[in-house]
Amino acid sequence: VSVNLFVYNGINRFSLGDDGNHRIRTAYVLGLKTIPLKISKIVDFQNVNSWFNVKNGLYTSEEAKQIFINYFNYSGQGAYV
């Protein structure tokens, strides 16, 4: 299952990548305790200025940081408000 790794203040969190939710649900139904993961992307808070949407001007680095923190802390809607 492809996952994204989010890194912030020494804490790592995973989120599903583009797919995999059906495989995770199936593993759960089958009672599997572990499943193999593949890290497809690492999003490190310290590298905000190299993020695609900051580099292309869609977000300022401050806006991107706020979106990241909201997402990382499971708060907000993922968009800058």
Q: So what's the pLDDT on residue 57?
A: 96
- Distance between CA atoms of residues 51 and 58, nearest Å: 10
Q: So what's the pLDDT on residue 2?
A: 87
Q: What is the edge-to-edge ordering of all strands in the sheet holding 2-8?
A: 11-16, 2-8, 38-44
Low-confidence stretches of the chain (pLDDT < 50) are: 81
Q: So what's the pLDDT on residue 66?
A: 92
Q: So what's the pLDDT on residue 24?
A: 84
